[in-house]
Structure formats: structure tokens, C-alpha cells
Amino acid sequence: MSFREDIAGYALTKFTRNKNEDKPQISIGRSIEESSGVLICLPEDRNEFRIARYVFKGIFESPVSNRITVILHKNVEADYRIDSNARKIVINEENLGFWKIPKSSWIKEQGFSTYDLVVDLNTKYHLYAAYLSMKLGDGLIIGFAWDGAEEFYNVLLEKKADNSSLENIYRTIRDDYTNLIPLEDLKQSSRKK
């Protein structure tokens, strides 16, 4: 984390977030098929990325994956290797401005919409992922706790040294928070259409 990112994060949390605004809250039990979409920011750290890819692989390859947008950093793109209908967006340093937040021209170019559910799987502070979560989230915004994270996310998860493994934490996010429907139910629900 650089000094520039610290300043940008501080400015974003103090001047751009409307704390009095009542955001519509979606039910945690709401299914992905009823949502306007899901945005998942995969971790920039290579080891965390591999764990997240393993845990969420079934979701990314499921029949409802076309409702999911995945953001990953250029340095882990080669490790993605998932056959999925999820929209994949790769971000790199050229897409970030001076303050290390995504350039507005890049955001417009990607054609982002707002998402009912945003999940940032970075366990450490990454300003670009937190910024996109805040800017694009319109409902449940899940991220890991770090100093100032409550300004970006409305559900915070703590990762402590004595907690369960990161794989188990990601499984909890997948199963309990995002409620992306058990995989055996996905096939049934997609046939109902």
C-alpha cells in the first residue's frame, strides 16, 4: 500500500461516500437469478487467488454464471483457467490513475452496471477493488475488515491468525453470505425457464 493509495482512500471515504443515503438492502437469501447481477473481485495475491478460484469454481462454471462479473488483476490472469460464462474483466496498472483507483474512462469502457451483490475476496487493502465495490454495489457489499473498510463494505469479515483456514472463510462467503444456491439446485432452477 502506497502513500498515494492512503490519501486517495481517505479522500474517497470522507468526501464521496454519502453516509446518510439509505441503500436498498437485499435479502441474503435472495437467489442470483432474482438479482441484477453479482460482481466478484478475485484476490490479487496469487496464493489467495488460487484458493478463491478453487472454492468458487463450481459457481463460475454453473448455469447461472452469466449473471456474474469477475474482476481479476493482470498478475493472476494466467492462473484463471476456468471454463465459464461469467464475464471476466482484467485490470492492470494502466487502468489505474495517479491515485491508484480505476480511471473513469476504463470504467465506462467496461460497461459496468450496478450489482445487487458485490464480493471483494482480497483479504488485504486493495484500493481499486474497494473503490469498484463501493461504486458499483447497490445492495450487499462484502469485504474483509481493515482500517476504513466499513466505508466501502456493508458486511465485514475478519481474518484472524487463529481463525479457520482461508479456504473455509471463502466457503462461508460462498455458502452463507452470497447464497449462490447449492450447485445441485442450480441445474433444477435453470430448467424451470
CA-CA distances (angstroms) from residue 97 to 9, 39, 128? 13, 21, 10
> Which CATH number does the domain housing residue 70 bear?
3.40.50
On whether residue 109 sits in a domain, the answer given is: yes
Q: Return the pLDDT at 152.
A: 92
On whether residue 106 sits in a domain, the answer given is: yes
pLDDT of 4 > 70? The answer is: no
Residue 71's closest CA among 43, 99, 95?
Answer: 43
pLDDT of 191 > 50? The answer is: no
Q: What is the pTM of this model?
A: 0.77
pLDDT of 80 > 90? The answer is: yes
Q: Under a CB-based contact definition with an 8 Å cutoff, are residues 65 and 57 in contact?
A: no
Q: Which residues constitute the domain of residue 168? A: 23-115+134-181
On whether residue 33 sits in a domain, the answer given is: yes
pLDDT of 163 > 60? The answer is: no
Residue 59's closest CA among 180, 153, 191, 192?
Answer: 180
On whether residue 10 sits in a domain, the answer given is: no
On whether residue 171 sits in a domain, the answer given is: yes
The predicted model gives 22-29 an average pLDDT of 42
Say which residue, 50 or 165, is predicted with more confidence: 50
Question: How many H-runs (helices) and E-runs (strands) does the chain carry?
Answer: 6, 6
According to DSSP H, which parts of the chain are helical?
A: 3-11, 46-60, 104-110, 127-136, 166-172, 183-191
CA distance 26 to 137: 11
On whether residue 168 sits in a domain, the answer given is: yes
Q: Quote the cell numbers at residue 191.
A: 430448467
Burial 8-38 (b: 16+ CB within 10 A, else e): bbeebbeeeeeeeeeeeeeeeeeebeebebb
Listed in order, strand segments (DSSP E) in 55-189 are 68-73, 87-91, 115-120, 137-144, 155-157
Q: How many separate domains does the chain show?
A: 1
What SS3 class is residue 156? strand
What SS3 class is residue 48? helix
Residue 121's closest CA among 161, 74, 164, 171?
Answer: 171
On whether residue 174 sits in a domain, the answer given is: yes
Sequence-ordered list of residues with C-beta below 8 angstroms from that of 193, at least 6 positions apart, any chain: none
On whether residue 110 sits in a domain, the answer given is: yes
Q: Return the pLDDT at 23.
A: 44
